[in-house]
Chains A and B, each alone.
Chain A
Amino acid sequence: MLALPNLNKTGQLALAALLVGAVALTGCDKSGETANNAEGAAKSSGGEKADEFKAGANADMFTFVVSADPETFDTAKMSGAPEGRLAMQLFEGLLIPGPTTEGITDSSKLVKPGVAESYEVSEDGKTYTFKIREDAKWSNGDPVTAQDFVYSWKRVLTPGFPADYATMMYVIKGAEEYNKSKEGEADWSKVGLEAKDDQTLVVELNNPTPYFPELVAFYTFFPTPQKVVEKHGDDWTKPENIVTNGAYVLKSYEPQKELLLGINEHYWDEENVSITEAKARIITDRNAVTNAYRAGELHWSGTSLPVSQISSFVAHPDYRRDPMLGTYYFRVNVSKEDSPLNDKKVRQALSLATDRQTLVDNVLNGLYHAADAYVPNNMAGYESTTKTEYNPRKAKALLKEAGYGKDAKKFPQIQLLYNTDENHKLVAESIQKQWKSNLGIDVELVNKEWKMYLQDVDNLDYQVARAGWIGDYNDPMTFLDMWETGNGNNDTGWSNAEYDELLDQARSEADSAKRQELLQKAETILLEEGPVIPIYFYTNNVLVARQLEGLEPHNRDIHLLKYVSLPQ
């Protein structure tokens, strides 16, 4: 657009100095650094810079980050992580998640009393009777009763109500039928939910469901204030109208900026809540999160750090790497006509030719754990019996058996779909190289923007696609039931009658040892059949002010501020 001016010698020197300066300054910016050289940088700079900043030094109150603007404060409608994090502070279910999942093998110990001070389970494991505490109150002083739960759960299940997670309630007797019935024809009397009196809630389930206590601690099962909803309609969640029953109330909300939380004076456990005011800053860009943390404006980074920046934090005392209940994997589409991927042996070969450990160590800086199974290995009370392996020789042999290789037909090029993200790109490129060198397979990488990627996966318009799954509760079922025939999350076209049968049996099995065995068998089938190729187990890489107490690692990244204190 602009012509270069005619420069004399002085001018040329000045220009050169400016350009060199600009390039040098740009080089200082770590945001463009790739993960490949991050480890080295960590060793050279991380240690020296460790104490240059102090978390929260410039914050006026306890401040943390939510990664996006909450789409809604209505717990019945929400399904995203940012909304969930806020819902956990504002509302409270019958039970609440404990402060940590570390070292807990008995899944019933993962939750603590919430609105319900206790509960009883019938012998067959199908009926739960919750005793609601008398001092449970809404933030306007009204008591929280069993009827509030009946009202709010019915609201979630109402046909046509836009509740993303209504399916979570299908474990309740009659809930699925009610939710799927046509508007006007739904019969609530057949749903196994009853408020015997203000303090007693009885829930009948279809099957013994060992993870039900964890489900009722999930936001979809939170109570909704009936009077407020009826008074304000959809506007009941506006800061000026909202009434909550958790440890905190919503004092103000500025979109894209911040939310202020204050203590709920009517909360039953108010005296044990240490942090009385908190600020949730909404910061979408992860580099901006680390900048704010460096500037001492945050006590907790809230979201996982960008891979490119982790190197400068690994040596810092505030840095934490918490295991997550999540798996990064590849989906394999088995529904396309004439696709080599329809052959089980080919899918097995692809999995055997994947060197997960090398990928995690060399490409992802050891930030995650190589997936040796599909169900994460930190699942409380469960251990996978079949392990993934790296065996290129066996992989080659299998591919040959499938009719590809020397003296046979050439394996056609396949496409690997991933959504735009530096991490996904690194993983895809690495796997592309591994499959080429181990099997001689040509892989074309296809990068799409998130919504387009979702559409392709939803329409089964792909061959292999990256994916990730974070468990909704601590039970293998949350990872395994999505691969059942007809499940809306399956998205591979894969179907296996034996697998479906095993999960059905597991659902009605009251004996936990037998149940685990059935689920292990199902996982074995899944790994052998290969509609999924596990890559790594997620970890949560965060910064937490070291003086903070009570913000323990949680494998679903659920943290209740009521457990946290900030000693001065």
Chain B
Amino acid sequence: MTRYILKRLVSSIVVLLIIVTVALWITRMAPSNPCLKEREANTCACVKENMLDRPVFPVYTSVPLDPVDSCQFWEPESQVSIGPVNILTSEWGETQYFNYVGHLIRFDLGQSMKTDRSVGETISAALPYTIQLGLQALILAILIGVPAGLYAGLRQNTPADYTTMTVAMVGVSIPNFVLGPLLIMFFALDLGWFRPNGWDSWQDSVLPSITLGLFYAAYIARLTRGGMLEIIRKDFIRTARAKGLSEKTVVLGHSLRGAILPVVSFLGPAFARLLTGSVVVEEIFNLPGVGKEFVRSALNRDYNMVLGTVILYSTLLITMNMVVDILYTVIDPRVDYE
């Protein structure tokens, strides 16, 4: 197991590095740049401050750098600067890519190109909100989804099954940009039970958690039901029933473990998706989470912030997948990593 985890860790770092490289390249290829403003502004100072006058990746040349006039090398049209860098000497750090990676290995995500704050500062301020929201949504989804799925699975092809699954279908179908405003309208504006937006206390996280979690609750309900239908027909369940065990023991003791396997494998990516997918919910409820920062930085072409959030999201996704794989061995003894 330890060897497996170590192997996964090493491959995760390689995957992360590939993601950083591709993401950095894509941000630089996107049209426009962080320094462009509506009104005439001091573009050159901004370009220099953010090293945009340096090449993204190393380019071979024997011409030495001339830092005084480096702003003139910058080509706003292509976004890929053409300034020379002498890779034969020690100027690797003068490229945007190696400069970034150099900082990254020291766990420094750099400075935001748009605000006075560092990327690390911004993310650490926003992440707790996103994680709390994601966790609450996930717990809500499990608490609703698993019992609903069990309930429907045990009553296959009855009105109870149909009703539960219809509600689940509606839950899956309603996008959160529709559900969110509806919840705000009823529970915040009409009934006054909650605040329409903002986050000062736990009550403020109720509506966003429901908005975010309902889709997953519905999906989990369907997965659980499917798992239940499959397991309930297995021989060992028949045997258990034949032995005269109580229905409660058969369902909770024998069937549930097998029935929720698909749910467990879904939970890892689901949690990662809950964290990364909270962008719309954060916007609707004006929550100070990472999703909002991500959207804002993408629109502003704040390269460092974009990369910072991409790295964060990728790390979460990779970690969650790994945790799920490990959890598999705990739940299902047939899975063996050796």
Residue ranges of A at the interface with B (Cβ–Cβ < 8 Å)? 1-2, 4-8, 10-11, 14-15, 18-19, 22, 25-26, 28-29, 31, 58, 69-74, 79, 160-167, 182-183, 234, 237, 254-257, 281-285, 287-288, 291-292, 294-295, 297, 449-452, 454-455, 458-459, 487-489
Contact = CB atoms under 8 A, between A and B. Distances in A.
Contacts of B33: 451, 455
B288 A291 contact: no
Contacts of A449: 299
Interface stretch (B9-17, B57-65, B93-101, B183-191): B183-191
Nearest to A71: B115
Contacts of A284: 283, 286, 292, 296
Interface residues of B, number: 65
Contact of B163 (A11, A58, A163, A183): A11
A489 B36 CA distance: 12
Nearest to A468: B38
Given A79-B37, A166-B42, A291-B184, A254 B286 contact: no
Contact of B166 (A18, A297, A458): A18
Contact of B31 (A58, A160, A295, A451): A451
Given A25-B182, A255-B288, A455-B36, A10 B162 contact: yes
Contact of B45 (A73, A160, A281): A160
B32 A455 contact: yes
Interface string B305-320: 0000000000000000
Interface string B77-88: 100000000000
A160 B198 contact: no
Interface in B265-322: 283-289, 292-293, 296, 299-301
A496 to B, nearest CB: 19
A254 B162 CA distance: 47
Contacts of B76: 455, 458-459
Given A234-B116, A455-B32, A489-B40, A161 B45 contact: yes
B172 A162 contact: no
B46 A162 contact: yes
Contacts of A79: 37, 39, 41
Contact of A5 (B115, B169, B283, B299): B169
A255 B198 contact: no
A4 B169 contact: yes
A281 B49 CA distance: 30
Given A160-B48, A255-B126, A451-B32, A69 B296 contact: yes
A285 B286 contact: yes
B328 interface: no
Contacts of A183: 68
Contacts of B37: 79, 164, 454
B44 to A, nearest CB: 8
A459 B33 CA distance: 13
Contacts of B174: 22
B39 A15 contact: no
B116 A288 contact: no
Contacts of B197: 283, 288, 291-292
A165 B125 CA distance: 30
Interface string B160-176: 01110111111010100
B36 A454 contact: yes
A5 B49 CA distance: 59
5 contacts: A10-B162, A163-B42, A164-B37, A288-B286, A292-B195
A466 to B, nearest CB: 12
Given A256-B289, A291-B197, A295-B195, 19 more contacts: A2-B169, A14-B163, A29-B182, A29-B185, A71-B114, A161-B42, A255-B117, A257-B288, A281-B198, A283-B198, A288-B196, A288-B284, A292-B197, A292-B286, A295-B188, A295-B192, A454-B38, A455-B36, A458-B76
Contacts of B165: 5
B118 to A, nearest CB: 10
